[in-house]
């Protein structure tokens, strides 16, 4: 008798800023269940509905072992496809089924994937500051804690600078000046390198906030500082410009947290136009497509750098870690440093020591959720402000 899916539950909680969506797949085997990340924090209501109203009836009674088939069928079952809502919903099921498969086999997921290439995953953390001196102080603090890879930003995405006057009547929003941002970031990175030397690995995320030709210029200008990578130099809509950057400098490039479909990676990887895949694993549909893209990237010398912000749930971070430990082409893992409450809520959340993230040896994803504690932190609905981003003249820009 195959073990079958008996129930699918969705848990939404907000312990630390982001609304987190966790899918729990309950099986016919008493006590056997799996967890998956379905977190799309800005639009979580439709993800919950997609799981409860559409995917749950579709998967109930099915054999838990047939992950590949379920993933393939789930991605086309709605006929209309490739959207972040449905992909996150599918990821919740997909990751939970991998968790279940590991528990059934009594193996951690990294063992199921092929076994460990490394004992722990090197992580990078985020340093910010109001000016270059504060960024430097924060980088020093992380270095003292044992981190070797540090992303440097200044004033958040888009930077902070004196803004040209807005047109009268301009709406509120998160304004930024892309040309000032370019100048200020180069000054900041120059300062941090000069003060801290070449050994610490520095990263920077443009967050798709420049015009394509300015991104080309920035990638060239920052080349002497030897970043570990420059992230999202271009928006998904502008990927044709990657060859312009590539032909002019050797700044390593990371891309893709906003991609929805595995095939979006194909031209960038096969064209050797990027160096790191910044996949948001739940946004792509789960571990099944992530593993496929990682294998494909390996053939072209492109490394992994799974997206690991605070709006990836702890379950999603655990999934990232298992992929990190297995992937022969692992590059780096982003890490958001959850507070103690999140560790209490998600027993088994990976520990980070001296810049490395370590797994536990529990089967499956090795992470659980305290549902009673999660229920004490219900999600709060609000209209997001930071994504209401505007150019100096008030027109809408990418966040
Ligand atoms: Mg990013």
Distance, CA of 75 to CA of 81 (rounded, Å): 6
Sketch out the chain's domains with CATH numbers: 112-364 (3.20.20.120)
Cα of 254 from ligand 1 centre, angstroms: 9
According to the model, what pLDDT value does residue 140 have?
Answer: 98
C-alpha angle 126-129-134 in degrees, rounded to nearest 5: 110
Cα of 168 from ligand 1 centre, angstroms: 33
Cα of 386 from ligand 1 centre, angstroms: 14
Q: Are 129 and 138 in contact (CB under 8 A)?
A: yes
73-79: long-range contacts, CB 8 A cutoff, minimum separation 24: 75/285, 78/54
Cα of 399 from ligand 1 centre, angstroms: 11
According to the model, what pLDDT value does residue 259 have?
Answer: 98
Catalytic-residue membership of 207: yes
Cα of 257 from ligand 1 centre, angstroms: 6
Positive/negative CA dihedral, 250, 254, 258, 260: positive
Residues in the chain with pLDDT values less than 50: none
Cα of 89 from ligand 1 centre, angstroms: 22
Cα of 143 from ligand 1 centre, angstroms: 21
For the chain, the first-to-last Cα distance in angstroms comes to 50
Torsion of CA 347, 115, 99, 369, to 10 degrees: 10
According to the model, what pLDDT value does residue 138 have?
Answer: 98
Residue of 33, 149, 157, 175 marked catalytic: 157
Cα of 101 from ligand 1 centre, angstroms: 31
166-194: per-residue pLDDT in tens? 999 999 999 999 999 999 999 999 999 99
Spell 43-55 as b/e; 16+ CB within 10 A means b: ebebbbebbeeeb
Cα of 348 from ligand 1 centre, angstroms: 26
Cα of 307 from ligand 1 centre, angstroms: 7
Alpha-carbon distance values, 200 to 81, 143, 193, 197, 227 (Å): 42, 8, 9, 7, 10
Q: Are 253 and 302 in contact (CB under 8 A)?
A: no
According to the model, what pLDDT value does residue 324 have?
Answer: 98
Cα of 349 from ligand 1 centre, angstroms: 22
Cα of 232 from ligand 1 centre, angstroms: 6
Distance, CA of 279 to CA of 316 (rounded, Å): 12
> What's the predicted TM-score (pTM) here?
0.97
Cα of 215 from ligand 1 centre, angstroms: 15
Cα of 159 from ligand 1 centre, angstroms: 14
Residue of 207, 280, 307, 322 marked catalytic: 207
Grouping H, G, I as helix, E, B as strand and the rest as coil, residue 114 is: coil
Q: Which tokens is 108 given?
A: 């951690």
Helix axes 67-77, 84-105, angle to 10 degrees: 170
According to the model, what pLDDT value does residue 163 have?
Answer: 84
Catalytic-residue membership of 133: no
CA-nearest of 305, 307, 308, 317 to 360 is 317
């Amino acid at each position: 008798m195959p073990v079958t899916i008996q129930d699918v539950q969705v848990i939404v909680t907000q312990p630390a800023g982001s609304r987190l969506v966790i899918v729990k797949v309950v099986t016919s085997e008493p006590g056997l269940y799996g967890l998956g990340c379905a977190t799309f924090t800005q639009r979580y209501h439709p993800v919950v509905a997609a799981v409860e109203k559409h995917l749950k009836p579709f998967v109930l009674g099915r054999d838990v072992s047939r992950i590949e088939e379920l993933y393939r069928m789930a991605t086309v079952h709605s006929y209309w496809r490739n959207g972040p809502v449905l992909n996150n919903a599918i990821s919740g099921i997909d990751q939970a089924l991998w968790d279940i498969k590991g528990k059934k086999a009594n193996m951690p997921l990294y063992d199921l994937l092929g076994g460990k290439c490394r004992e722990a995953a090197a992580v990078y953390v985020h340093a910010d500051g109001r000016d270059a001196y504060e960024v430097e102080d924060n980088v020093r603090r992380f270095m003292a804690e044992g981190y070797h890879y540090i992303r440097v930003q200044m004033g958040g995405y888009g930077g902070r600078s004196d803004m040209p006057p807005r047109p009268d009547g301009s709406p509120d929003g998160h304004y930024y000046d892309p040309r000032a941002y370019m100048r200020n970031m180069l000054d900041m990175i120059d300062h941090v390198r000069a003060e801290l030397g070449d050994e610490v690995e520095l990263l920077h995320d443009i967050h798709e906030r420049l015009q394509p030709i300015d991104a080309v210029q920035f990638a060239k200008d920052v080349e002497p500082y030897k970043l570990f990578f420059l992230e999202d130099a271009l928006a998904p809509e502008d990927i044709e410009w990657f060859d312009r950057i590539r032909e002019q400098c050797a700044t390593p490039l990371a891309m893709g947290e906003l991609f929805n479909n595995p095939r979006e990676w194909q031209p960038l990887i096969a064209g050797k136009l990027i160096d790191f895949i910044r996949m948001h694993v739940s946004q792509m549909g789960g571990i099944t497509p992530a593993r496929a893209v990682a294998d494909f990237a390996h053939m072209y010398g492109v490394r992994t750098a799974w997206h690991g912000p605070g709006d990836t749930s702890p379950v999603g971070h655990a999934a990232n870690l298992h992929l990190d430990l297995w992937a022969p082409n692992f590059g780096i893992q982003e890490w958001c440093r959850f507070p103690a409450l999140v560790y209490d809520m998600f027993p088994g959340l990976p520990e980070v020591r001296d810049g490395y993230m370590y797994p536990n040896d529990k089967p499956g994803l090795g992470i659980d959720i305290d549902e009673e504690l999660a229920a004490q932190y219900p999600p709060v609905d609000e209209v997001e402000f930071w994504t209401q981003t505007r150019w100096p003249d008030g027109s809408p820009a990418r966040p």
